[in-house]
Amino acid sequence: MTVVIIYIRIHFKVSSWNDAAKLMSVAVSHDISIRLLVCHTANPSALFQSEPDPFSVMARVILDHAFELVEISPTEDTIVEGEEFGTARIMSVLEAHIWPNMKPKDLGQNKLTHLKLDGIKTSDDKHHLYKPSSLSNKINKINLNDNEHSDLSEHDEDEFEDLLKHLPIMRKEIASLNPTDRYNMAEKITCKIWRAIGGSEEEIDGLHSDSS
């Protein structure tokens, strides 16, 4: 199963929207299974100024491409009671689809779920193309500002986009590892994503960080 996440910058400019629309069309043509359009706060009135109902126009375009809009920091009038939004929604999608052979394990009050391997079979004589240490170094080289956990700045957005760009490659490499190494690498990537979208350190306490 393939996941694509398109991130629109905070400013939500017309040019950014046009670029996102092109990428959404590409996702449709490649029959991507899971599609997310992520932004800090949607501002449809800036995109469709001549329309009486800008939000409906924007929503129709997104739905026509079978994408889901996820706002990192939605306004109160766009929050639907009982539905996830922001980082929680992104993490739910990633946990459910990025690593399909893993399932979440409840950690009590810890809001971030732990990833547990489920039924992965490996062979000791199987040749792995990627060593855990090599993949770990690749993950660590993704330049994320782990000490900043406030709202996404323009620099944070660049780092977040960089991480998303590397996800398909890392997913293929993780598939070649043994269960223990795959488990550790999945945790490491989860921590990277969590920090990139502004999550607090308390939420990932106990997981493998990029320094382990």
Beta strands in the chain (DSSP E): 3-8, 34-39, 68-71, 102-107, 110-117
> What is the mean predicted confidence (pLDDT) over 155-173?
66
Q: Where are the domains of the chain?
A: 3-78, 98-204
- Kindly tell me the burial class for residue 97, based on how many C-beta atoms sit within 10 Å of its own C-beta (0-12, 13-18, 19 or more): middle
What is the value of pTM for the model shown? 0.49
pLDDT > 90: what percent of the chain? 7
List the structure tokens of 15: 């040019």
**More confident position, 111 or 34:** 34
- Over range 60-78, report the average pLDDT: 87
| pLDDT(32) > 50 | yes
* Dist CA 174 CA 186 (whole Å): 8
The Cα–Cα gap between 74 and 45 comes to: 15
pLDDT tens string 182-204: 777 777 777 777 776 666 777 77
d(CA 101, CA 133) in angstroms, rounded, equals 22
Residue in the structure block whose two tokens are 């993780």: 174
| Band of pLDDT at residue 161, cut at 50, 70 and 90 | low
Is the Cβ–Cβ distance between 42 and 71 less than 8 Å? Answer: yes
Tell me the DSSP string of 64-120: HTT-EEEESS--GGGPPTT---HHHHHHHHHHHHTSTTEEEEEETTEEEEEEEE-S-
In angstroms, rounded to a whole number, what is the distance separating the alpha carbons of residues 156 and 26?
25
Closest CA to 196 of 170, 164, 167: 164
pLDDT confidence of residue 116: 36
Integer angstrom CA distances of residue 122 from 118, 127, 205: 12, 11, 29
Q: Of residues 108 and 20, which shows the higher confidence score?
A: 20
Of the two residues 67 and 183, the one the predictor is more confident about is 67
Confidence of residue 60 (pLDDT cuts 50, 70, 90): very high
- Residue 2's pLDDT is 66
Residue 8 has pLDDT above 60, yes or no: yes
